[in-house]
Amino acid sequence: MQSPRNQSGFGMGMGPAGLSARHGCANVCARSHHTPRIGGRPACRAIPAGRPARGRRNIAMLYEVRAYTFTIGSLDEAVEDFGSIIEERTKLSRLICFFRSAIGDLDRIFHIWEYENAAHRERVRAEAQSQAWWPPLKAEKILYQQTRLMTAAPFRASPRTGAMGSVYEVRSDTIHTGTMGKISAAWDTHLPAREELSPLAAAFANPANEFASGILNEFLHIWPYRDLNHWAEVDEAANRLAGWRDCSNPFLKARKSEIWVPVEYSPMH
């Protein structure tokens, strides 16, 4: 009998709890000291498709997607507070991105962390909680917290980091149970043509037959753009791209799109 991950056709390996334990984890990619800055953060450089993590191992990783909603007027302080400890925190596990909300629900941050498996995540959490610098955020300023565990899509098995754009569209699709394998196969076929318009930075999912808790059957994909005008141009062109929208729409129950901007210390920027 096939394992649930094989039945889904998405995981392409062992589940999060079953990954082999290993020591060490890639740290956040350092930015160049020569990157020009605009408004306190590095200016956007045109890199067509970003870059994968250095030294990636051929193993399915676990990704924790976290979002916080803060009291009105507290977002800047939260970004600064997290920035004050980010160097220490990224010594424990790799940060993929750190965004602040721009369009959609406001006063929010969104960040993704990479782990080798569920046991590695628990070890990192315990180590962080033992440090004097943790937690960085003020509990009284937090309205809501959300976290979900996901795995990377086989067609973007390693999230890309680096300078890719000044705005990021985070799309969240709710999929029908058991269809992630079909979506993955469709994207495998149609993604190359779509990426001629703009790159895909990362894609994650948590199919119901792989994960037992959290937001299930979510397909999350992250797209960088130079600015909102570029986003509008690409969106219009993608609508005309043969087969792109239709390749996965039959497998979707709902769709949501939000625009985020990277903070100064985000590896994806």
CATH number of the domain to which 204 belongs:
3.30.70.100
* Mean pLDDT, rounded, of the chain: 84
Domain encompassing residue 121: 60-262
Please answer whether residues 198 and 223 qualify as being in contact, where contact means their C-beta atoms are separated by less than 8 angstroms.
yes
Digit-coded pLDDT (tens) for 16-36: 443 333 333 333 333 333 333
- pLDDT at residue 73 greater than cutoff 90: yes
Q: How far is Cα of residue 142 from the mean position of the Cα atoms in its chain?
A: 21
Alpha carbons 160 and 50: distance in angstroms, whole number: 5
Alpha carbons 164 and 43: distance in angstroms, whole number: 10
- pLDDT at residue 187 greater than cutoff 90: yes
- pLDDT at residue 150 greater than cutoff 50: yes
Domain contains 47? no
For 176-181, which contacts have Cβ atoms below 8 Å and span 24 or more sequence positions?
176/217, 176/251, 176/252, 176/253, 177/207, 177/208, 177/209, 177/217, 178/7, 178/8, 178/207, 178/208, 178/209, 179/251, 180/8, 180/9, 180/10, 180/205, 180/207, 180/217, 180/219, 181/8, 181/9, 181/10
Please answer whether residues 134 and 181 qualify as being in contact, where contact means their C-beta atoms are separated by less than 8 angstroms.
no
Indicate the number of domains in the chain.
1
Find the range with the poorest average confidence among 92-106, 175-189, 205-219, 235-249. 205-219
What pLDDT, on a 0 to 100 scale, did the predictor assign at position 21? 35
Domain contains 75? yes
- pLDDT at residue 220 greater than cutoff 80: yes
Residue with more model confidence, 19 or 257 = 257
- pLDDT at residue 9 greater than cutoff 90: no
Domain contains 49? no
* Mean pLDDT to the nearest integer, 88-116: 98
Domain contains 21? no
Domain contains 39? no
> Is this prediction's pTM over 0.85?
no
* Mean pLDDT to the nearest integer, 215-229: 96
Q: Which residues contact 93 (CB under 8 A, 6 or more apart)?
A: 25, 113, 114, 115, 120, 121, 124
What pLDDT, on a 0 to 100 scale, did the predictor assign at position 135? 96
- pLDDT at residue 104 greater than cutoff 60: yes
The number of beta carbons lying within 10 Å of the beta carbon of residue 83 is: 15
What pLDDT, on a 0 to 100 scale, did the predictor assign at position 10? 52
Domain contains 38? no
- pLDDT at residue 53 greater than cutoff 60: no
